[in-house]
Structure 1
Amino acid sequence: MEVDKMSNNEEPSNNNMLYLLAGVGIGAIIGAAAGLLFAPKAGSETRAELGDKLKEFKGKTEEWVNEQRTKRASKKALDEEVGA
């Protein structure tokens, strides 16, 4: 059984790129949280700031998910229109 190998000229698949971006994003979040936790501030200030950042991140994530759903629905509608 022969295994297909990706040549140097081929682009990585979209899935691989998505995993890479997800890993970078998660790493950035963990790094930011660690920076906040180890910053020389009072604990209550740090917790409040971390909570604010998490709320901000949650909002941005929900916004991004909604945008992707809208794009997917638009593409699906266009595909159905073209295919009809």
Structure 2
Amino acid sequence: HERTAEDWDQGIRQIGHSRLHPDGRLIVYKAGVTIIKPPLAAVDAQLHPRFLTVAERETIADMRRAGHSLRAIGRVLGR
């Protein structure tokens, strides 16, 4: 699809019914929510990919408080 190709060129990943932008913005279309995650490059660079980053842990906590399921959180995180 043309829009998908444009998104890939811009570094935008589609996760379920949401789009993750390279600057950390996550737009969830079904919920009508934009989640802005600040970049934590220094923390992310030190961790092995198998471990959760601080940003991922904060996202999990926020989404659990909002009542999202574990599967939905996993889809958003791409894990």
**TM superposition score category, shorter chain reference:** under 0.3
Larger % of helix: which? 1
Q: Which has the larger radius of gyration?
A: 1
TM-score scaled by structure 2? Answer: 0.28
Q: Which has the higher contact order (CA 8 A, sep 6+)?
A: 2
